Structure 1
Amino acid sequence: MPESRQPVAAPLQSQIWPAGGRHLWPSGGVSESHSHQHGHLVYAATGVLAVVTAGGTSVVPADRIGWTPAGIAHRHRAHGDTDMRILFVTPELARHLPDRPAVFLASGVARAVTLALTGGDDDPATARTDTARARLLRVLVDELRDTSEQRLHLPEPRDDRLRALAAMLADDPGENASLAELGRAVGASSRTLSRLLHDELGMTFREWRTHLRVYHALVLLAEGLDTTQTSFRCGWANPSGFITAFAGIVGTTPGRYRAGGPHPPG
């Protein structure tokens, strides 16, 4: 999911401690590329968070938790004013999570534990013993293990023609040109692009464009647009088609997601 190059914006407020942290990002805020010695979980209590690595972009909307393993260079980008929570995971617990970036549904328990370990104005490390924190973190990891991964990771193409195509669709997700028409703009036939999409990303063009559009829709919803406005901006001819596609990827309807209401069981 290509991004425009903008100056790095500092968070409005940060709290950092050895086991994690909290950043309040303004909409459009983005961190420098960095990595950590330990894997970490991120949760957007408000807003939408994008986690960008060399391998692709994970989108972490409200009620999702993102995972980035140790040593993977990444940067964070906020869409909408975002309350970002971070928890570092010990190597022992990290073995129970994927060895690649992933996004999980945040159950009620997972959300409560995450907020309990990162909330408050004071350093949370002083509010609980190390043993109590470790016990809660194990509960959180167990909850994630029992939850299906969400299809909210968009792999980054390697081929220059696919990268050019991705940039075009990111700039205008409502573009409804055919693959053949888009191919002429990037210098490749529709057959070549279809083969590259299958070999590199494991998707058809329709699947890939739908994922790109839904990711863009998450951003627009976070910025306050309603379902109808978002559906047309993202290229759907009618809101019902958008609602179906959105629910298939995110796991809930755009209206319920935008209202912050409960999600169906994941």
Structure 2
Amino acid sequence: MKETSLHHHRKAQLILTLSGVVTCEVDNSAWIVPPQCALWIPGGQAHSLRASGDLKIYCLFVETDAAAVMPAECCTIAVTPLLRELMLRTASLPPLYDMGGPDGRLVTVLLDELAAASVEKLHFPMPRDPRLRKIVNAMLSDPAERLTIAEWGRQVGASERNLTRILRTETGMSFGRWRQQLHIQLALQHLAQGVSVKVVAQDLGYESASAFITMFRKALGKSPARYLADRCRLGSSAEALPSS
């Protein structure tokens, strides 16, 4: 496990994960970057990073004026084969490349592709309330725990109504949706490291693999197998692209 402390950059940062899993905490959200995805971090945004697995990543830094077409908030971006190849090529450019030459045109195409890229919902809102933070830590320690919000409330000294109100105010989510988003985060981390769907389902407290698959499909629009296959396909397709 590799970690960085809270820091920020003047320029915007784009992190491409080729293997391993990167988790980035920004403000009050945790963002997961599985293989063949990229994370966009606006300039000046304080963040910390945690990486696991056989890590291979590329980082690009983008000047503020060039980043104007990009989201003003942190987001996870789906990487197409073309976008992946553009990022890899751009990462090899010298710091003072010729903006009016081929290198500059390459960067322009990259920025156009980034602006058109699909945003994936791979973040987990981290609440500020200390009681909800205790619940997060407990769920991270035992993701299979299925206590209701009322039962959690009794453990942290708050009513169900009060916890529900605070959670929705700070995260915009119901308790069930919030816990599901945490499960998606954890599932993607484990699946990307080669853990089977059956084991992941058990670790997250689902009665069966099919129940977990149903939840995953509703959240991300694909089954775990299809999601991972698409990630692998993007990677293998990009490897086949010409490098000239």
Equivalent residue, structure 2, for 1:218: 188
Contact 2:216 2:222 in 1 (8 A): yes
1:176-195 equivalence runs, <5 A: 176-195=146-165
Per-residue CA deviation, residues 49-102 of structure 1 (Å, 9 max, x unaligned), is 111123221111112111111111112111211111101112222111111111
Question: Hey, which of these two has a bigger chunk of helix by percent?
Answer: 2
1:207 maps to which of 177, 187, 190? 177
Change (3 A) 1:124 1:137: closer
Assess, with a 3 A threshold, how the Cα gap between structure 1 residues 61 and 172 changes in structure 2: closer, same or farther.
same
Other-structure match for 1:262: 233
Query: Does structure 1 residue 109 correspond to structure 2 residue 109?
Result: no
For structure 1, list consecutive stretches of 5 or more residues without a partner in the other structure: 1-27
Q: Is the 8 A contact 1:47 1:78 kept in 2?
A: yes
1:134 to 97, 100, 104: 104
Q: Is the 8 A contact 1:34 1:73 kept in 2?
A: yes
Provide the residue aligned with 1:237 in structure 2.
Answer: 207
Match of 1:169 in 2: 139
Pick from 16, 19, 38: which aligns with 2:11? 38
Which whole-Å CA distance do the structure 2 matches of 1:55 and 1:240 have between them? 32
Instruction: Give the aligned partner of residue 115 of structure 2.
Output: 145
SS in 1 for 2:178: helix
| Partner SS, residue 39 of structure 2 | strand
Q: Which amino acid aligns with 1:262?
A: R
Whether 1:125 aligns to 2:94 is yes
Report how far residue 141 of structure 1 moved.
2.6
How far residue 40 of structure 1 moved from its aligned partner, in angstroms, is: 0.9
Q: Percent identity?
A: 34
Compared with structure 1, are the counterparts of its residues 136 and 234 closer, same or farther at alpha carbon in structure 2 (3 Å cutoff)? farther
Q: Please, what TM-score do these two structures have when normalized by structure 2?
A: 0.86
